[in-house]
């Protein structure tokens, strides 16, 4: 499989946002979502003095990226880990703080492009959807074993699917005849169970259900909720965290963590705000930045991207 078809989203903007933190001697940057290594390779090239630590839960991604980043030798350390394991990874490597952390959340290009992984609703494949295929339950197991009420909750919470009850009723009826194993059957079932009006909006009608299943299988939102605060804690003063997210649920978590860090925590009415109540972060974006029209025209996967960044401006004070 070739690496050249993978186009990193908002690459230049990510590099520029991290630059003030990574142009320092001995800087360490963590790419929490290595994927095919596009962002990582660009970081190593742009910041020749920096050391990279890159995480991914997908062993195939680590293998392919390892080949891609081999020319950089010991400057790149690749680790098989989920990004919410960031504190443990840094501890094992003896790194008390780092200078930059980059997240490119969601499903990687490699996982979308490899048909047998079951992430893409546009092609028939086994309903797997695990980013790390060595552990956890598959999307098929979720569909075939979860209680109807739990499936409705997942589709509403993680897919923001208004037709969740209707879709789940059809799934439960069909799984009693034969368990689900492949994506095409699920796509067809969703298409048949939705009212005409719902099918006319928002692209493929299976999109939201597939997103919900993927988030459930990989516990993505749980990981994001742990990982973003961990990244903020890991950077030293002047360090920066930059996050690309692709759906509103992830972006909301990032927004809330950054906003909390950029706010004063002082009780109201204090004439002078003590140091321990001062903001720890400075926001680097006004709201979320979006990709340019030109980038979306060149790379359709950039379309839903939302970019946020924050800089550490003081240490935690107990």
Instruction: Quickly tell me which residue has 């009212």 as its tokens.
Output: 195
- DSSP label at 273? -
Task: Check: CB of residue 143 under 8 Å from CB of residue 201.
Answer: no
Whether 56 has a binding-site annotation, put simply, is yes
Whether 277 has a binding-site annotation, put simply, is no
Whether 83 has a binding-site annotation, put simply, is yes
Whether 39 has a binding-site annotation, put simply, is yes
Q: Convert the pLDDT of each residue in 3-55 to its tens digit.
A: 334 678 999 999 999 999 999 989 999 999 999 899 999 999 999 999 999 99
Residue 275, pLDDT score: 84
Whether 106 has a binding-site annotation, put simply, is no
Q: State pTM to two decimals.
A: 0.83
| Residue closest to 150 by CA, chosen among 166, 132, 133, 168 | 168
Q: Convert the pLDDT of each residue in 129-173 to its tens digit.
A: 887 777 789 999 999 999 999 999 999 999 889 999 999 999 999
Pairwise CA distance, residues 161 & 208, whole Å: 6
Whether 104 has a binding-site annotation, put simply, is yes
Whether 12 has a binding-site annotation, put simply, is no
* 199-to-165, 169, 193, 204, 284 alpha-carbon distances in Å: 16, 18, 10, 8, 39
**Which residues, listed in sequence order, are joined to residue 78 by a DSSP beta bridge?**
54
pLDDT band of residue 2 (cuts 50, 70, 90) is very low
Coil, strand or helix at 58: coil
Residue 119, pLDDT score: 54
Q: Are strands 235-245 and 98-104 parallel, antiparallel or unpaired?
A: parallel
Pairwise CA distance, residues 64 & 114, whole Å: 13
- Our measurement of the distance from residue 49's CA atom to the centroid of its chain's CA atoms, rounded to an integer in Å, reads 27
Q: What structural domains and CATH numbers belong to the chain?
A: 11-110+222-312 (3.40.50.150), 114-218 (1.10.150.170)
| Residue closest to 104 by CA, chosen among 131, 69, 139, 66 | 131
Q: Convert the pLDDT of each residue in 184-211 to its tens digit.
A: 999 999 999 988 766 666 667 888 899 8
């Amino acid at each position: 499989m070739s690496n050249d078809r993978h186009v990193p989203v908002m690459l230049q903007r990510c590099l520029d946002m991290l630059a003030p933190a990574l142009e320092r001697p001995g800087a360490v940057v963590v790419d929490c979502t290595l994927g095919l290594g596009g962002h990582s390779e660009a970081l190593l090239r742009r910041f020749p003095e920096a050391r990279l630590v890159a995480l991914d839960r997908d062993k195939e991604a680590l293998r392919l990226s390892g080949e891609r980043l081999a020319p950089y030798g010991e400057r790149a350390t690749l680790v098989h880990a989920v990004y919410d394991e960031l504190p443990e990874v840094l501890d094992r490597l003896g790194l008390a703080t780092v200078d930059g952390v980059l997240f490119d959340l969601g499903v990687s290009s490699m996982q979308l492009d490899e048909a047998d992984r079951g992430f893409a609703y546009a092609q028939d494949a086994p309903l797997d959807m695990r980013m790390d295929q060595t552990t956890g339950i598959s999307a098929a197991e979720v569909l075939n074993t979860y209680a109807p009420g739990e499936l409705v909750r997942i589709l509403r919470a993680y897919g923001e699917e208004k037709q969740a009850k209707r879709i789940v009723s059809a799934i439960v009826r069909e799984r009693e005849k034969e368990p689900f194993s492949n994506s095409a059957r699920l796509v067809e079932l969703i298409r048949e169970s939705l009212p005409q009006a719902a099918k006319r909006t928002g692209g493929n009608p299976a999109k939201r259900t597939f997103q919900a299943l993927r988030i459930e299988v990989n516990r993505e939102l749980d990981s994001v909720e742990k990982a973003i605060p961990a990244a903020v804690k890991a950077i030293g003063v002047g360090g920066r965290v930059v996050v690309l997210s692709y759906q509103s649920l992830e972006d909301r978590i990032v927004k809330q963590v950054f906003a909390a860090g950029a706010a004063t925590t002082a009780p109201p009415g204090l004439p002078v705000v003590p140091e321990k109540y001062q903001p720890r972060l400075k926001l680097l974006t006004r709201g979320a930045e979006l990709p340019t029209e030109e980038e979306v025209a060149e790379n359709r996967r950039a379309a839903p991207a939302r970019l946020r960044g924050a800089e550490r401006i003081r240490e935690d004070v107990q």
